Amino acid sequence: MKMEYFILLTVLLVGFIIMPMAIPTIKTTQPYSVFNKNEEGCSSFFKLMYDSNDKTRPLIYPYNREDLRENSVLFIISPDVEFTEEEVENLKDYLSSGNILVIADNFNSGNSILKYMNLSYRFSERPLYDVIKPVEFYSNGYIILENPSTIMGKGNGTVIMYSSDSSNIGNYPRPRDESRYPLILEKNYGGGKIILISDPTLFKNKLFNYNKEFLKDYFNYSDKNAIYFDEYHHSDVNPQNIVTITVDNNNITSEFISYLFTTILIIMVVSKGIGVLFKNLIKKFGNFNIKDNNSKQDVNSHIDIFIENIGKKYGLNKSILYKIINKIM
């Protein structure tokens, strides 16, 4: 084989070695991101949703109403980037078509959505203190929350879960200064529904094993056409922060390249020797001469004769012989 082919093959091989280590991927430590597999991320909840509905996907770019399918659910978990009025108008249109919007927040930017929607509800900017914290009970069991606030305001929403009767906002509960407060609330909006959750730690990987059964029961959306997770409003998850994992330069040394060249050269020499050997065998058992200017059709017919003769002589399986020759030739 010509030297230029040898060099080209070596370059391609080095490229294939490095390429798997240079695939673009999203790497983030952003709290509540579905791309974060650490304790503070929500990757386990995302997987739970995906296992029940394979049309689950994150949204990492700016999106509008046209990007979201009908009969779907959009999760916005602890956004730390403010929503604009235009973005909320798109969410209004989304809800008016009968879709579901889930907003989970405590002390970040969730209130910017509620403001532009002209809702009376707000996430409290003060922490909720509960005597039995961090355990909150519901009809079929309990969940664990780490940093709850509460949902303030009056309206016609339906409270799904309260804190205990021994709770207070901003201060530890004291006698005659305690009550229960909404933690999860549902409200119809247009033709759709908004679900407000006043503690996004409900979804964290750290607490996932404790809260899994509730999450599985309450967010049972296997029948939806799509389930979306808003990652665009997480400051550390955006197109500018999509990073590439590259190979460490210390791993590809000049010594490694030298060994690689030598290995390829040995393989090429051995392959050429095997090719010559097969030509001699074909001449012996096929009773014909192979010339370099033979057509592809002639060579194939010669190989057929060779396989027929050597198969009969040594009792070898013809299909296996074809596979071996195809690999070598």
Tell me what pLDDT residue 28 has: 82
List, for residues 93-115, the tens digit of each pLDDT value: 999 999 999 999 999 999 999 99
Give the distance from CA 229 to its chain's centroid.
11
List, for residues 283-310, the tens digit of each pLDDT value: 655 554 444 445 555 556 666 666 676 6
pLDDT, one tens digit for every residue, the chain (329 residues): 455 555 555 555 555 555 444 444 566 889 999 999 999 999 999 999 999 999 999 999 899 988 999 999 999 999 999 999 999 999 999 999 999 999 999 999 999 999 999 999 999 989 999 887 778 877 778 899 999 999 999 889 999 999 988 899 988 888 878 899 999 999 999 899 999 999 999 999 999 999 999 999 999 999 999 999 999 999 987 655 544 333 444 555 556 555 555 666 666 665 556 556 656 655 655 554 444 445 555 556 666 666 676 666 556 566 666 665 565 45
Sign of CA dihedral 22, 31, 115, 230: positive
DSSP H or E segment with residue 73: strand 72-77
Q: Where are the alpha helices (DSSP H) in the chain?
A: 3-18, 43-52, 85-96, 111-116, 208-218, 254-286, 296-314, 318-328
Nearest-angstrom CA–CA distance, 138 and 163? 10
With CA atoms as reference, report the closest residue to 214 among 48, 101, 31: 48
Nearest-angstrom CA–CA distance, 8 and 281? 31
Nearest-angstrom CA–CA distance, 77 and 200? 6
Please list, in sequence order, all residues whose beta carbon lies within 8 angstroms of the beta carbon of residue 118, skipping any fewer than 6 positions away. none
Tell me what pLDDT residue 237 has: 79
With CA atoms as reference, report the closest residue to 110 among 293, 233, 228, 6: 233
Nearest-angstrom CA–CA distance, 282 and 287? 8
Nearest-angstrom CA–CA distance, 192 and 227? 15
Architecture category of domain 25-244 in CATH: 3-Layer(aba) Sandwich (3.40)
Q: Would you list the domain boundaries of the chain?
A: 3-11+251-328, 25-244
Nearest-angstrom CA–CA distance, 43 and 38? 8
Please list, in sequence order, all residues whose beta carbon lies within 8 angstroms of the beta carbon of residue 309, skipping any fewer than 6 positions away. 285, 286
Phi, psi of 66 (to 5 degrees): -70, -20
Tell me which amino acid residue 166 is. Answer: S
Q: Tell me the three state secondary structure of residue 142.
A: strand
Nearest-angstrom CA–CA distance, 30 and 52? 25
Please list, in sequence order, all residues whose beta carbon lies within 8 angstroms of the beta carbon of residue 243, skipping any fewer than 6 positions away. 24, 25, 26, 27
Tell me what pLDDT residue 19 has: 47
Give residue for tokens 């006698």: 175
Asked if residue 87 lies in contact with residue 181, where contact means CB atoms within 8 angstroms, the answer is no
Tell me what pLDDT residue 95 has: 96
List, for residues 43-64, the tens digit of each pLDDT value: 999 999 999 999 999 999 899 9
Q: How is residue 97 written in tokens?
A: 């078509």
Tell me what pLDDT residue 243 has: 45
Tell me what pLDDT residue 226 has: 97
pTM: 0.67
Specify which residues 58 forms β-bridges with.
Answer: 229
